[in-house]
Amino acid sequence: MVDVSQHEFVPEHTVLEDEELEDVLAEYDIKRTDLPKIKRADPALPDDAEVGDVVKIVRDSRTTDTAVVYRLVVT
């Protein structure tokens, strides 16, 4: 079986620690539930991601070199 999370086209996914999450939520003045969602079954998620975690995704971008987005893990 192929591990798609290791494929070169899948951007880096990292589970945020509580301290970093609080900084992100304060910076954007939002609640955790305001974030876009990602399903726990998504094969790109790290194995340690659980429902309720927030994942930081760093993608390549043609305009800004890299783009950072955040997703709330749901069922």
Q: How do residues 46-72 score in pLDDT, each as one tens digit?
A: 999 999 999 999 999 999 999 999 999
Say whether pLDDT at 1 is over 70: no
In one-letter notation, the amino acid at residue 37 is K
- The whole domain housing 41 covers 4-74
Number of compact structural domains in the chain: 1
Give pLDDT, residue 57.
96
Give pLDDT, residue 4.
74
- Return d(Cα 6, Cα 18) in angstroms, integer: 25
- Return d(Cα 24, Cα 37) in angstroms, integer: 16
Dump pLDDT digits (tens) for 3-30. Answer: 777 777 889 999 999 999 999 999 999 9
Q: Rounded mean pLDDT of the chain?
A: 93
H or E element: which one contains 39? strand 37-39
Q: Are strands 12-15 and 54-61 parallel, antiparallel or unpaired?
A: antiparallel
Instruction: Identify the CATH number of the domain in which residue 18 sits.
Output: 3.90.940.20
**Phi first, then psi: what are they for 66, rounded to 5°?**
-135, 150
